[in-house]
C-alpha cells in the first residue's frame, strides 16, 4: 500500500510500541501487563510495520525467523522451570535474586518464564500473520 | 521421585522444542524423534515401577503446596496410561519414519507428534482440573494440526468437523471447570474429592455438574450420541496419525471420566453411574453397527473405536473393583490391538493400493505374514481367547453379572459377536477373497523395517497380554483398587498440606 | 480545587466524546463522520487522560497519560486516512451537499496509486462488488 | 551524536513511563533504548531536534489552539438542528516532499477544523483534503498552505 | 498333561516348516504327534479303569479365576483318544488328499491347532479354560471351513458356522460365569461334588438356557443345525475330523460333563431330550434326501448328534452308557464314511451319488471300508454300530417317562439312518458303472489307512465288547455320573423287543432306500425346512442386522455438521436440565438485578451486538459486531476488577479482528440457506441452551461464599512470590504449569497455521484457481519475493 | 455534594456509555463498511476514556495501563480493516 | 448485577450455538467465538463479581485491600482466552483452507468424508442469493 503517512507513522511508532511492550513485560509481575500482553504489543509493532512497509521488510527487521523465536521462547520458559528443578529438586520452583531492581523488583525465574512467554507470543503472532499475509502464492 | 513424575512430560516437550528449533533439518528431526520416542516409554516405565513399589507419587509444581499449586500425581492407573502413551509414541514414531512423506516432515510433523504425546501425558499425570483442561487443549491443538497436516481435501473436511465438535467439548469442559471452582472453591482433584465427600458442596448441584462433565468428556471420548466427530475424521489423515489418535485420544477422554467419576463425583452413584451404563450400551451398539456398515477399513476401525469406548464406560458404570480392572485392562488391550490394526491396514494399503474392501483381496495367499499380523490383533479385538480382548471382556462380563446388570452384559456379548463379524468381514474380503483386479500386482513394501517392526511388536504384545494376562490384570486390579479407595490418592497429594 | 479541575476535564472530555458520537450518527457521509470524530474523540480522550494525570498526580501516571495522548494524536489521523482511502475504493457516496470532489477519478483502480491529475473520465466507480449493507 | 540524543531521550521516556527516577533505572532505560535504536537503526531519516525546540513549542501551542477551536466548531455543527455544512474534497498543491513533513502536515490537517487529510498523490505534488465547510476553494488552499505547510516546513527545515 | 494339550499348538507352529522340509512325507511325520498322544492317553487307560484320575494345575489368569487346570478321567480319556487317534489318521489322509496344494502346510497347522484346542476342551477342569479352548476350536473350524477361500460359498459357510457357534459360545460364557457365581468355583471337579449349589440357585434357569445354547449350537442341534451341512465346504478330512468325529461333540462333552451339575431336573430332561429328539429325526430325514455324499453324511451326523443329546437328556445311567457307546461308534463309522467320501471325490471328481455307481472294481479297499462303515451306521451285526444301536434302543425303551414316544422317535431316526447308510455305500460301489469326471483308481495308501483302520476298529470292537466296556465306556460313564457304575456290552444280547426293533429298522430303512426315487416328490411336499427353516431365519437376521446397521449409520453419522451440533446441544441441555430439575435445589434463585446505569448500557450493548451478529447480512459487519461483543466483555472485566483480563481480551480481540479480516475477506458472503422453520427451530434449541446457562449462573451466584484457595494467593503473592499483581503471579508462578501448556498451544497453533498456508497437496497447488492467485496480498505491495522457507522437498519416499 | 469518584461513576461514565451506544447504532446502520469501522474505532476511543474515568472512579491507576494497551493495539485493528477493505475491492 | 450478567451469558451461549448451527463456515467460526466469550464470562461471573477492585497489592503493602476480586478465576480465564485465541486462529485458517479446497462454504455440502449422500434433511434448500 502506498501510504506515506502510514509508513512514516509506523516508523515512529515502532520503537514506542516496542518500548511499551518491554515495559508491560517487565512490570507485569506488579501491575497489569506481563509477557502475554507485552508480546502482543510487540507483535502489533511488527504487524503495523508489515502493513506499512511490507512483510519482507518486517521479516528483515525482526532478523530471527518467527518460528525459531517460538522455539527459543519455549526453551526459555522450559529452562526457567528446569532451573528450579535443578536448584531445589522441584520443577518450576522460583529462584530469586537477593536484591531489588527498578521496575522489575527482584529478578527471578518467573520473570525468565514470562520472557519466554513474551518471545513465544511474538513468534506465534508473527508466524500466523505473516503466513496469512504472504498467502498462497 | 519428582523427576520421575516430570520426565514423561519433559521428554516429549524437549523433543518437540528441539525439533522446532531444527525446523529446517529433517535428518536431525528424525533422530530426535527416535531418541524422544525411546526415552518417553522408558521414563514411563520408571515411573510405573516407582508407583508400584512405593505407592502413589505426587509432586507440587513450583513447590507450592497442594491444593494451591498444581499437583502432578501418578497412581497406578495414571502410570499405566503414561507407559501406554510412551509405547504408542514409540511405535508411531518408528512407523512414521517409514510412512510420513518428506513434505509433512518438513512442516513440523515430529514436533507436533511429540507435543501431542506431551499433552496426553500431561493429562494423565495432572492432579488439577484446570491443568487437565490445559493439557487437553495441548493435545487437541496438536491433534487438529496433525489431522489437517498435508491439506488434502478429505483431511480438511474431516478436520473441520473434528475441530468444531471438539471445541464444543472444550467450551463445555471449561464451563464445567469454572462451575466446579465455584462450587468447591478449589481445583485440586484430591481436595475436590475431600470437599465433595464431606458435604462442603451441595450434592444436587454436584450431580448437575457431574452430568456436564460427562457430556464434555463424553464428546472427547466418543460416547453416544456425541461421537460424530470421530467417524467423520479419523480416516482422513495418514494412517500413522490415525493409529496414534485411535490409541490415545479418546482414551484420554475415558481416563478423565474414570478419574472424576471415581475420585470426585461419587456422591450420587445410582444416578450418574446408571446413566453411564445406559450410554455405554448405546455406544457399544451404535459403534459396532456403524462398523458393520462400512466397507472402508479405516472407517470400519474408527467405528469400532466408539464401540470399544462403550466397553470402557461399562466398567466405570458398573463401578466395582473387577469392573474397573476390566476397564483398565481393556484400555491397555484396545490401545494395542486397535493401533496394530490401523498400522496393518496402512501396510495393506501400501501393498494393495486401497483401504476399500471392495478393491482388496488375495492377500492371504500373496502375503500370509501380513495376514497373520492382521489376524492376531483382529481376533484380540473380537475378544477371542486367549488373546487380550477376551480377558478384558471376561472381567467386564463377570463384573456385570455379579452386579446383576444383565442387560448390559447381554448387550456387550452381542456387540462382541458383531465385532467378530466385522473383523471376519475384513478378513474375508481383504485376505481370503481373490483380488478383484488380478492384473494389478501387489506393490513391494518399501521401508519394510520401519513399518513392519512396530506392527509385529504390537501383535506380539497383544498375544503376550493375552496368554500372559495375569501380571497386567493384577496390575490393573491394584490400579482399580486405588481408584475405588481414593484415600491413598488424597493422602499422597495433600500430604504436604496443612 | 484539583478535584474541580479533574471533574471539569472529565466532563469536557465526556461531552466532546458524546459530540463525536452524535456526529458519527448525524453526519451524512463517511468523510464527514470521520471529520467529526477524529477531532472530538481525540480531544475528548485527551482531556480525560489529562484528568487522570491530574487526579493521580504521580510521575508515572502523568507520563503514561501524556504518552497515550501523543500516541492518539499520531495515530487517529492515520486511521482516518486509511479508512478514507478504503472508502474511496469502495465507492462510498459523498454527501449530496458536497460541492466538489477533486479526488474523483484520480486513483488508479488497478495499482491503487494516486495521481496528481485525472487519469480517467469517469468518477470513481468501485472496482469490485461493494459490501451490501 | 544524534543517536546518543535519541538514546538519552528513550532512556528518559523509560523513566517517564516507569516513574522511577534513579540512576540505575536511567542506566537500565539507556540500555533498553540502546538496544532498540540498534534494532531499529535502518528506519530513521535524518532530523535535527535540538535547534528546533523553540519552533516546536510555538507550533504545539498553535496546534492546540486550532484543535480546541476545531472541536468547538464541530460541536456547534453537530448539535445544531440543521447541519449547516458545505463539504468538498480539495486538491492542494504541495511544496513539502519529505515523508515526515507530509505525515506531520496530514496529521495536523486531520486534527484541526473541519478538515480531513485524505491522501497524497504518488508524485507528492498534490495533497487531497476533505473539508466540512468551504466557500472559496482558493482561500481554503492558501489557508492550508500558510497555516500549516509553512509552519511544518519551518520546524522541519 | 499340559504338555499333551500344548503339543498340538507347538506342533502347529512348526507344521508349515516341516511340510516344506519333508515334502510328501510331512503328513506321516506330523501324524507322529497325535499318534504319540494316542499312545499317551491309551497308556492311562489301565489306571483310569482302576479308578484313578490325573490332574495338573498351573496358575494362569488367577485374577479371573482361570487356572490351567487339567484333569484326565474316563470321559476325558474317551474323547482324548478319539481326538488324537482320528487326528493322526486325518493328518495322514490330508497329506494325500491335499497333495500339491500350496496351502497344505497351513492345513497341518490348523488341524494341529484344532486338535490342541479340542484336547484342551475335554481335559480342562476349569470352566473358563474350557471356554478358551472351546472358542479356539470355533476359530480353527472357521479357518478350515474357509480353506478354499477363493470360493464365496466357503467364506459364507465359514462365517455362518462361526457366527452360530460363536453366538452360542458367548451365551455359554455368560452361563458359565453365572454357574461359577452360583457354585462359587470355576473348577469343574469341585462343582460336580455339589450339584445342589447350582440347581437351587435362583440363576439355575438362566444358567441352563445359556449353557445349553452353547452346547446346542456347537453340536448342531435343531434349530441351529444348519451350519453343519454348510461346513461341508471344508476339505473332506476336515469334515471327517471336526464336523463329525470331534468338534461337534464338544457340545455333547459339555452336556455330559455338566450333567451332574445341571442335569436331572425336569427342565433339563424336557428341553434336552426334546431338542435331541427333534434333531435326531429331522437330521436323518433330511439326510437320505440329499444327493451330495458329504451332505448326506452331514445330516446323518446332525441326526447322530441329536441322538446323543437325546440320550443325555434322558439322563439315566443306562442312557449315559448308551450315549457314550453311540459316541464311540459314531466316531468310528462316520470318520470312515467321510474319508471314503473324500476318496471318492478325490478319485472321481464328484460327490454326487446320482453320478456314482459300480466303483467296487476300481476301488475295492475303499469300497470295503465304506461297506463296513455303513453297516455299522445302519446298526448291522457284527459291528460296533450294532451294539450301540442296541443300547440306544434299550435306553429309550427303558426311559422312566414317555418311553413309548421316545422309542418311536429313536426308531424313526434310525430308519432314515439306514437309508442314508445304504445311499453312501451301496449306491456308489454297486449297480451300474456310471461315468465320472475323473477316471477312478484306488486311493493312495495315505488315504486308505484312515478308513481302513477306523472301519477295522468298528469290527474289532464288536468282538471285544467287554474290553471296550471296561476300559472305554465304564470309566467314562463313571466320570460323567460321578459315581461308580456297572457296564456291560454284548455283541449278542439275545432275542428281545429291542432286537426286533432293530430288524424292523433295517428292513424299513432298506425299503425307503429302494423306493427313494418314487418317494422323493412325496417327501418334498412334507419338507418345510427348506421354506421356513432356521437357515432362512439366520439369513433374515443377518440381513436385518446389516440393514439396521446401514440405516442407523446413515441417520446418525449423516455428515451434516449442524445436525451433529444440534444433537450435542440437545443432549447437553436435556441431561443437564433434567438433572438440574430433579436433583438440585433451585429455590431463591430468581432475584432482581442490582445494577448501575452504565453497567446496564454495556450489558445491553453486548446483548444487542450478539443478536446483531446472528442477523446481519454482511460478514465483515458480523465481525465488527463480534468485536463489539468482545470489547463489551472487556469493559465488563474492567468494571469488575480484572484489568489484566481486560487488557488481554482487548488485545486478543483486536488481533482476532485482524485475523478475521485477513482470512474471511475472500470467503463468499453470507447467504440464507436454511428456511424460516429451520431457523426458528435452531433458535429455540440455542435459546434453550442459553436459558440453561442463565439459570445455572443464577443458581450458582445465589451463594458465593465458597472461596477456598484464594486466601493463600493473596497472602503469599508478595511475601513468597514477590509480585504484587496476583493474577500475574498466579500465571507465572503459582500456576505457571498452566501457562506452559498455554504457550505450547499457541506455538502449535502457529505451526498449524503456517503448515496450512504453506503445505498444499501437489495437485491443488498446481490447479490453484486464477482468482485465488490474482488476489493481492500484503506482500504484493512490498514487491515481496517469497521469503526463504524450508524446501518442501518432494523427494517422495 | 457528590465526590469526584461518584461524579465519575454516575455522570461521566453514563455519558460515555451512551456515546458508545450511539456509535454502535452507526455500526449497525453502516451503510458502508468503512462507516462501521469508524464506529468501532470511536468505540475503542471511548473505551480508553471509560477506562480513564474508571481509574479515577476507583482510584486504581492500573486501569490506565489497560487504556494504553487498548490505544496501542486497537489502532492496528482499524488499520488492518482499512487495508483489507481497500484490498478486497 | 449477576442477574444481568446471567442474561448476557445466556445470550452469548444462545447466539453462539445458533451461529454454529448455520450452514456457513464463517458463521460457524463466529459462533465458536461467541461461545468462548460466554464460557469465559460465565466463569468470571459465577466466581464472584466485585466492582472495581483488582487483585493487585498496593505498593508497600503485603496483601490486597478487601474487598478484591478473586484472582484465580481471572488467571484461569486469561489462560483460557489465550488458548482460545490460538485455537481460533488455527480454526479460522483451517476453515478458510477447507473453503478453498471444497470451493463451497455451505457446510451441508461438506460431507464427503461420510457416506451420507442419500440422506436429505427436511430443511435443505438450494443455495439462495
Ligand atoms: Na481413540
Ligand atoms: Na480421539
The residues facing A137 across adjacent strands are none
Q: A16, C112: Cβ pair inside 8 Å?
A: no
Mean pLDDT of E109-131: 96
Q: At what angle do helices B129-148 and B153-184 cross, to 10 degrees?
A: 170
pLDDT at C122: 47
Q: Judge if D140 and D64 occupy the same domain.
A: yes
Least confident of B2-11, D47-56, E166-175, G34-43: D47-56
- pLDDT confidence tier of residue E671, bands split at 50, 70 and 90: confident
Q: Judge if D146 and D79 occupy the same domain.
A: yes
Write out chain F residues lying below 8 Å of G53, CB-based.
58, 60
**B474 CB burial (10 A radius; 0-12, 13-18, 19+):** middle
**E20 CB burial (10 A radius; 0-12, 13-18, 19+):** exposed
Write out chain E residues lying below 8 Å of A50, CB-based.
778
CA distance E40 to E88: 13
State whether residue G72 is helix, strand or coil.
Answer: helix
Which residues 44-73 of chain C have a CB within 8 Å of chain A? 67, 71
Domain total of chain F: 1
Q: F69, A1: Cβ pair inside 8 Å?
A: no
Chain E touched by C128 (CB under 8 Å):
no
What's the ipTM? 0.93
The DSSP element (H or E) to which E58 belongs, if any, is strand E54-61
CA distance E633 to E622: 16
Q: Domain for residue G117, yes or no?
A: no
pLDDT at B286: 96
Q: F62, G52: Cβ pair inside 8 Å?
A: no
Q: For testing the chain A interface, which of F44, F51, F61, F79 should be mutated: the one with the most A CBs within 10 Å?
A: F79
How many angstroms is it from E40 CA to the middle of ligand 2?
54
Mean pLDDT of B175-185: 92
| E223 upstream amide cis, omega within 30 of 0 | yes
For the stretch E399-411, pLDDT in tens is 998 999 999 999 9
Give B416-454 as a DSSP string.
Answer: HHHHHHHHHHHIIIIIISPPSSTTSPPPP-SSHHHHHHH
Enclosing domain of residue E400: 269-526
- pLDDT confidence tier of residue G116, bands split at 50, 70 and 90: low
pLDDT at A137: 37
Task: Convert chain D into a string of H (helix), E (strand) and C (coil).
Answer: CHHHHHHHHHHHHHHHHHCCCCHHHHHHHHHHHHHHHHHCHHHCCCCCCHHHHHHHHHHHHHHHHHHHHHHHHHHHHHHCCCCCCECEEEEEECCCCCHHHHHHHHHHHHHCCCEEEEEECCCCCEEEEEECECCCHHHHHHHHHHHHHHHHHHHHC
Chain B touched by E572 (CB under 8 Å):
yes
For the stretch E501-522, pLDDT in tens is 999 999 999 999 999 888 888 8
Enclosing domain of residue B395: 268-467
Please, which chains are in contact with D (at least 3 CB pairs closer than 8 A)? A, C
Residues of chain F with pLDDT under 50: none
Does position D1 have pLDDT exceeding 70, yes or no?
no
The alpha-carbon gap from F70 to the nearest alpha carbon of chain E, in Å, equals: 6
Enclosing domain of residue D7: 2-43
For the stretch E59-107, pLDDT in tens is 999 999 999 999 999 999 999 999 999 999 999 999 999 998 989 999 9
For the stretch E568-603, pLDDT in tens is 999 999 999 999 999 887 776 777 778 889 999 999
- pLDDT confidence tier of residue D140, bands split at 50, 70 and 90: confident
CA-angle at B199, arms to B193 and B204, nearest 5°: 90
C-alpha cell at D5: 540524543
Amino acid at each position: 500500500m502506498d501510504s506515506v503517512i502510514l509508513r512514516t507513522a509506523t516508523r515512529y511508532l515502532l520503537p514506542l510500541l516496542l518500548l511499551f511492550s518491554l515495559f508491560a513485560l517487565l512490570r507485569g509481575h506488579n501491575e497489569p501487563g506481563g509477557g502475554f500482553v507485552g508480546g502482543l504489543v510487540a507483535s502489533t509493532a511488527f504487524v503495523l510495520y508489515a502493513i506499512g512497509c511490507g512483510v519482507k521488510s518486517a521479516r528483515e527487521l525482526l532478523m530471527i525467523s518467527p518460528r525459531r523465536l517460538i522455539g527459543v521462547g519455549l526453551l526459555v520458559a522450559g529452562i526457567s522451570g528446569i532451573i528450579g528443578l535443578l536448584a531445589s529438586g522441584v520443577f518450576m520452583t522460583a529462584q530469586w535474586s537477593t536484591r531489588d531492581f527498578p521496575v522489575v523488583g527482584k529478578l527471578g525465574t518467573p520473570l525468565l518464564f514470562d520472557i519466554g512467554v513474551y518471545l513465544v507470543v511474538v513468534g506465534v503472532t508473527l508466524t500466523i500473520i505473516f503466513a496469512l499475509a504472504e498467502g498462497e502464492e | 521421585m519428582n523427576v520421575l513424575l516430570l520426565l514423561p512430560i519433559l521428554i516429549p516437550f524437549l523433543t518437540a522444542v528441539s525439533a522446532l528449533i531444527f525446523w529446517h533439518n529433517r535428518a536431525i528431526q528424525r533422530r530426535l524423534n527416535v531418541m524422544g520416542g525411546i526415552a518417553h516409554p522408558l521414563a514411563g516405565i520408571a515411573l510405573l515401577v516407582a508407583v508400584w513399589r512405593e505407592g502413589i507419587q505426587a509432586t507440587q509444581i513450583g513447590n507450592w503446596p497442594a491444593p494451591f499449586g498444581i499437583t502432578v500425581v501418578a497412581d497406578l492407573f495414571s502410570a499405566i496410561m503414561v507407559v501406554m502413551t510412551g509405547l504408542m509414541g514409540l511405535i508411531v514414531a518408528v512407523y512414521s519414519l517409514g510412512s510420513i512423506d518428506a513434505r509433512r516432515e518438513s512442516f513440523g510433523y515430529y514436533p507436533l507428534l511429540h507435543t501431542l504425546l506431551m499433552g496426553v501425558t500431561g493429562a494423565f499425570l495432572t492432579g488439577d482440573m484446570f491443568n487437565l483442561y490445559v493439557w487437553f487443549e495441548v493435545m487437541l491443538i496438536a491433534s487438529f494440526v496433525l489431522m489437517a497436516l498435508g491439506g488434502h481435501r478429505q483431511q480438511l473436511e474431516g478436520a473441520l468437523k473434528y475441530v468444531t465438535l471438539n471445541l464444543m467439548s472444550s467450551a463445555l469442559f471449561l464451563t464445567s471447570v469454572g462451575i466446579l471452582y465455584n462450587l468447591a472453591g478449589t481445583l485440586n482433584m484430591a481436595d475436590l474429592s475431600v470437599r465433595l465427600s464431606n458435604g462442603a458442596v451441595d450434592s444436587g448441584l454436584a450431580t448437575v455438574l457431574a452430568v456436564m462433565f460427562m457430556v464434555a468428556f463424553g464428546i472427547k471420548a466418543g460416547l453416544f450420541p456425541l461421537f460424530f466427530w470421530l467417524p467423520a475424521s479419523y480416516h482422513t489423515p495418514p494412517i500413522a496419525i490415525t493409529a496414534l489418535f485411535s490409541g490415545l485420544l479418546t482414551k484420554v477422554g475415558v481416563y478423565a471420566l474414570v478419574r472424576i467419576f471415581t475420585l470426585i463425583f461419587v456422591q450420587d452413584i445410582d444416578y450418574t453411574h446408571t446413566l453411564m451404563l445406559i450410554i455405554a450400551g448405546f455406544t457399544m451398539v451404535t459403534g459396532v453397527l456403524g462398523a458393520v456398515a462400512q466397507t472402508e477399513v479405516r472407517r470400519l476401525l474408527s467405528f469400532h473405536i466408539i464401540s470399544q469406548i462403550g466397553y470402557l464406560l461399562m466398567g466405570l458404570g458398573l463401578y466395582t473393583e473387577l469392573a474397573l480392572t476390566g476397564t483398565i485392562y481393556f484400555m491397555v488391550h484396545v490401545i494395542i490391538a486397535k493401533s496394530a490394526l490401523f498400522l496393518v491396514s496402512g501396510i495393506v494399503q501400501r501393498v494393495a493400493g486401497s483401504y476399500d474392501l471392495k478393491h482388496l483381496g488375495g492377500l492371504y495367499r500373496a502375503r500370509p505374514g501380513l495376514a497373520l499380523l492382521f489376524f492376531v490383533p483382529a481376533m484380540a479385538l473380537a475378544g477371542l481367547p486367549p488373546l487380550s480382548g477376551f480377558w478384558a471382556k471376561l472381567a467386564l462380563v463377570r463384573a456385570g453379572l455379579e452386579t446383576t446388570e444383565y442387560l448390559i452384559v447381554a448387550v456387550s456379548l452381542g456387540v462382541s459377536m458383531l465385532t467378530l463379524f466385522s473383523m471376519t468381514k475384513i478378513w474375508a474380503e481383504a485376505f481370503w477373497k481373490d483380488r478383484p483386479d488380478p492384473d494389478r500386482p501387489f506393490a513391494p513394501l518399501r521401508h519394510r523395517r520401519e513399518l513392519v517392526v512396530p506392527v509385529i511388536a504390537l501383535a506380539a504384545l497383544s498375544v503376550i497380554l493375552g496368554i500372559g494376562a495375569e501380571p497386567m490384570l493384577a496390575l490393573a486390579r491394584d490400579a482399580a483398587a486405588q481408584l475405588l479407595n481414593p484415600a491413598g490418592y488424597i493422602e499422597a497429594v495433600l500430604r504436604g498440606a496443612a | 480545587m484539583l478535584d474541580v479541575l479533574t471533574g471539569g476535564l472529565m466532563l469536557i472530555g465526556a461531552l466532546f466524546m458524546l459530540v463525536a458520537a452524535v456526529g458519527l450518527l448525524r453526519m451524512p457521509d463517511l468523510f464527514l463522520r470521520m471529520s467529526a470524530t477524529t477531532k472530538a474523540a481525540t480531544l475528548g480522550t485527551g482531556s480525560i487522560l489529562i484528568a487522570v494525570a491530574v487526579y493521580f498526580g504521580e510521575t508515572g501516571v502523568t507520563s503514561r497519560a501524556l504518552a497515550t495522548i501523543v500516541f492518539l494524536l499520531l495515530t487517529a489521523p492515520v486511521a482516518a486516512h486509511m479508512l478514507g482511502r478504503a472508502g474511496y475504493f469502495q465507492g462510498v457516496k459523498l454527501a449530496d451537499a458536497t460541492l466538489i470532489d477533486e479526488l474523483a477519478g484520480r486513483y488508479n483502480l488497478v495499482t491503487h496509486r494516486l495521481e496528481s491529475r485525472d487519469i480517467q473520465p469517469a468518477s470513481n466507480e468501485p472496482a469490485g462488488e461493494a459490501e451490501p449493507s | 551524536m544524534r543517536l546518543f540524543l535519541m538514546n538519552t531521550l528513550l532512556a528518559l521516556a523509560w523513566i517517564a513511563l516507569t516513574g522511577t527516577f534513579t540512576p540505575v533505572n536511567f542506566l537500565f532505560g539507556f540500555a533498553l533504548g540502546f538496544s532498540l535504536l540498534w534494532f531499529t537503526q535502518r528506519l530513521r531519516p535524518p532530523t535535527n531536534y535540538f535547534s528546533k525546540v523553540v519552533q516546536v513549542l510555538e507550533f504545539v501551542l498553535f496546534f492546540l489552539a486550532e484543535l480546541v477551536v476545531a472541536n468547538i466548531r464541530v460541536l456547534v455543527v453537530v448539535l445544531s438542528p440543521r447541519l449547516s455544512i458545505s463539504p468538498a474534497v480539495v486538491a492542494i498543491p504541495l511544496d513539502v516532499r519529505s515523508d515526515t513533513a507530509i505525515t506531520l502536515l496530514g496529521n495536523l490537517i486531520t486534527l484541526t477544523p473541519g478538515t480531513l487529510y485524505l491522501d497524497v498523490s504518488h508524485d507528492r505534488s498534490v495533497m487531497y483534503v476533505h473539508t466540512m465547510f468551504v466557500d472559496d476553494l482558493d482561500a481554503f488552499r492558501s489557508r492550508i498552505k500558510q497555516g500549516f505547510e509553512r509552519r511544518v516546513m519551518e520546524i522541519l527545515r | 498333561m499340559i504338555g499333551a494339550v500344548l503339543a498340538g499348538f507347538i506342533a502347529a507352529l512348526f507344521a508349515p516348516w516341516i511340510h516344506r522340509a519333508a515334502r510328501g512325507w510331512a503328513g506321516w511325520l506330523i501324524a507322529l504327534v497325535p499318534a504319540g498322544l494316542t499312545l499317551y492317553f491309551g497308556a492311562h487307560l489301565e489306571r483310569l479303569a482302576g479308578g484313578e484320575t490325573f490332574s495338573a494345575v498351573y496358575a494362569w489368569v488367577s485374577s479371573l479365576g482361570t487356572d490351567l487346570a487339567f484333569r484326565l478321567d474316563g470321559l476325558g480319556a474317551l474323547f482324548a483318544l478319539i481326538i488324537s487317534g482320528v487326528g493322526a489318521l486325518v493328518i495322514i489322509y490330508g497329506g494325500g488328499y491335499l497333495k500339491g496344494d500350496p496351502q497344505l502346510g497351513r492345513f497341518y497347522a490348523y488341524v494341529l491347532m484344532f486338535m490342541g484346542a479340542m484336547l484342551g476342551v475335554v481335559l480342562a477342569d476349569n470352566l473358563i479354560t474350557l471356554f478358551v479352548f472351546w472358542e479356539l476350536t470355533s476359530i480353527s473350524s472357521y479357518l478350515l471351513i474357509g480353506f478354499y477361500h477363493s470360493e464365496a460359498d466357503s467364506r459364507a459357510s465359514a462365517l455362518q458356522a462361526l457366527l452360530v457357534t460363536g453366538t452360542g459360545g458367548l451365551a455359554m460364557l455368560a452361563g458359565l460365569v453365572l454357574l461359577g457365581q452360583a457354585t462359587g468355583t470355576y473348577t469343574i471337579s469341585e462343582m460336580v461334588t455339589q450339584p445342589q449349589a447350582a440347581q437351587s440357585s435362583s440363576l439355575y434357569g438362566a444358567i441352563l438356557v445359556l449353557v445349553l445354547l452353547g452346547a446346542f449350537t456347537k453340536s448342531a442341534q435343531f434349530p441351529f443345525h444348519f451350519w453343519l451341512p454348510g461346513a461341508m465346504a471344508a476339505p473332506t478330512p476336515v469334515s471327517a475330523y471336526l464336523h463329525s468325529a470331534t468338534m461337534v461333540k464338544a457340545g455333547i462333552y459339555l452336556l455330559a460333563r455338566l450333567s451332574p451339575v445341571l442335569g436331572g431336573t425336569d427342565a433339563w430332561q424336557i428341553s434336552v431330550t426334546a431338542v435331541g429328539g427333534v434333531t435326531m429325526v429331522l437330521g436323518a430325514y433330511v439326510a437320505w434326501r440329499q444327493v451330495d455324499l458329504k451332505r448326506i453324511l452331514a445330516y446323518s451326523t446332525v441326526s447322530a448328534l441329536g441322538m446323543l443329546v437325546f440320550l443325555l437328556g434322558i439322563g439315566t445311567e443306562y442312557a449315559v452308557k448308551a450315549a457314550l457307546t453311540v459316541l464311540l461308534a459314531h466316531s468310528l463309522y462316520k470318520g470312515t464314511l467321510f474319508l471314503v467320501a473324500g476318496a471318492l471325490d478325490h478319485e472321481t471328481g464328484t460327490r454326487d451319488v446320482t453320478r456314482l455307481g459300480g466303483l467296487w472294481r476300481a476301488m475295492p479297499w475303499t469300497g470295503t471300508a465304506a461297506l463296513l462303515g455303513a453297516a455299522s451306521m445302519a446298526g448291522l451285526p457284527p459291528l460296533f454300530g450294532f451294539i450301540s444301536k442296541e443300547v440306544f434302543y434299550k435306553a429309550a425303551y427303558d426311559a422312566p417317562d414317555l418311553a413309548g414316544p421316545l422309542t418311536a422317535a429313536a426308531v424313526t431316526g434310525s430308519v432314515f439312518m439306514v437309508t442314508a447308510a445304504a445311499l453312501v455305500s451301496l449306491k456308489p460301489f454297486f449297480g451300474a458303472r456310471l461315468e465320472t469326471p475323473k477316471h477312478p483308481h484306488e486311493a493312495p495308501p495315505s488315504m486308505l489307512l484312515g478308513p481302513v483302520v477306523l472301519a477295522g476298529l468298528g469290527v474289532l470292537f464288536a468282538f471285544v465288547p467287554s474290553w471296550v466296556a471296561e476300559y472305554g465306556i465304564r470309566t467314562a460313564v463313571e466320570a460323567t455320573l460321578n459315581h461308580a457304575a456297572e457296564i456291560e456290552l454284548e455283541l449278542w444280547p439275545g432275542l428281545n423287543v429291542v432286537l426286533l426293533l432293530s430288524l424292523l429298522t433295517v428292513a424299513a430303512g432298506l425299503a425307503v432306500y429302494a423306493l427313494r426315487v418314487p418317494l422323493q416328490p412325496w417327501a418334498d411336499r412334507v419338507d418345510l425346512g427348506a421354506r421356513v427353516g432356521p437357515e432362512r431365519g439366520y439369513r433374515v437376521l443377518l440381513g436385518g442386522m446389516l440393514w439396521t446397521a446401514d440405516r442407523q449409520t446413515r441417520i446418525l453419522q449423516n455428515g451434516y455438521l449442524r445436525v451433529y451440533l444440534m444433537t450435542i446441544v440437545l443432549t447437553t441441555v436435556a441431561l443437564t436440565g433434567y438433572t438440574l430439575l430433579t436433583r438440585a435445589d433451585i429455590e431463591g434463585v430468581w432475584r432482581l438485578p442490582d445494577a448501575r446505569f452504565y453497567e446496564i448500557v454495556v450489558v445491553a450493548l453486548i446483548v444487542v451486538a450478539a443478536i446483531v451478529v446472528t442477523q446481519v447480512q454482511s460478514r465483515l459487519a458480523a465481525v465488527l459486531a463480534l468485536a463489539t461483543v468482545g470489547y463489551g466483555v472487556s469493559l465488563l472485566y474492567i468494571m469488575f476488577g480484572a484489568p489484566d483480563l481486560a487488557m488481554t481480551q482487548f488485545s486478543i480481540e483486536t488481533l482476532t479482528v485482524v485475523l478475521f479480516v485477513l482470512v474471511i475477506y475472500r470467503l463468499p458472503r453470507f447467504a440464507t440457506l436454511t428456511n424460516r422453520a429451520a431457523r426458528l427451530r435452531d433458535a429455540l434449541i440455542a435459546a434453550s441452551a442459553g436459558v440453561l446457562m442463565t439459570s445455572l449462573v443464577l443458581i450458582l451466584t445465589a451463594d458465593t461464599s465458597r472461596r477456598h484457595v484464594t486466601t493463600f494467593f493473596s497472602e503469599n503473592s508478595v511475601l513468597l512470590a514477590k509480585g504484587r499483581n496476583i493474577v500475574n503471579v498466579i500465571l507465572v508462578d503459582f500456576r505457571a504449569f498452566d501457562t506452559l501448556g498455554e504457550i505450547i498451544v499457541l506455538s502449535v497453533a502457529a505451526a498449524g497455521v503456517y503448515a496450512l498456508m504453506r503445505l498444499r497437496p501437489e495437485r491443488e497447488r498446481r490447479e490453484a484457481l486464477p482468482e485465488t492467485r490474482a488476489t493481492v496480498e500484503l506482500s504484493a505491495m512490498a514487491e515481496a519475493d517469497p521469503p526463504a522457507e524450508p524446501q518442501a522437498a518432494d523427494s517422495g519416499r | 455534594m457528590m465526590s469526584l469518584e461518584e461524579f465519575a461513576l454516575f455522570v461521566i461514565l453514563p455519558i460515555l456509555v451512551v456515546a458508545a451506544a450511539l456509535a454502535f447504532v452507526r455500526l449497525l446502520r453502516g451503510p458502508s463498511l468503512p462507516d462501521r469501522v469508524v464506529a468501532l474505532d470511536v468505540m475503542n476511543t471511548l473505551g480508553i476514556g471509560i477506562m480513564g474515568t474508571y481509574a479515577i472512579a476507583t482510584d486504581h491507576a492500573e486501569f490506565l495501563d489497560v487504556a494504553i494497551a487498548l490505544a496501542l493495539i486497537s489502532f492496528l485493528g482499524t488499520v488492518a480493516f482499512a487495508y483489507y477493505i481497500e484490498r478486497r475491492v | 448485577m449477576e442477574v444481568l450478567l446471567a442474561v448476557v451469558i445466556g445470550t452469548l451461549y444462545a447466539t453462539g450455538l445458533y451461529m454454529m448451527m448455520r450452514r456457513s463456515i464463517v458463521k460457524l467460526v463466529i459462533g465458536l467465538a461467541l461461545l468462548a466469550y460466554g464460557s469465559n464470562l460465565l466463569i468470571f461471573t459465577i466466581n464472584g463479581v466485585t466492582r472495581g477492585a483488582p487483585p493487585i497489592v498496593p505498593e508497600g503493602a503485603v496483601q490486597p485491600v478487601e474487598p478484591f476480586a478473586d484472582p484465580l478465576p481471572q488467571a484461569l480465564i486469561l489462560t483460557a482466552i489465550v488458548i482460545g485465541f490460538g485455537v481460533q486462529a488455527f480454526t479460522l485458517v483451517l476453515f478458510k483452507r477447507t473453503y478453498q479446497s471444497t470451493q463451497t462454504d455451505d457446510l451441508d455440502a461438506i460431507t464427503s468424508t461420510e457416506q451420507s449422500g442419500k440422506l436429505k434433511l427436511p430443511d435443505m434448500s438450494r443455495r439462495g442469493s
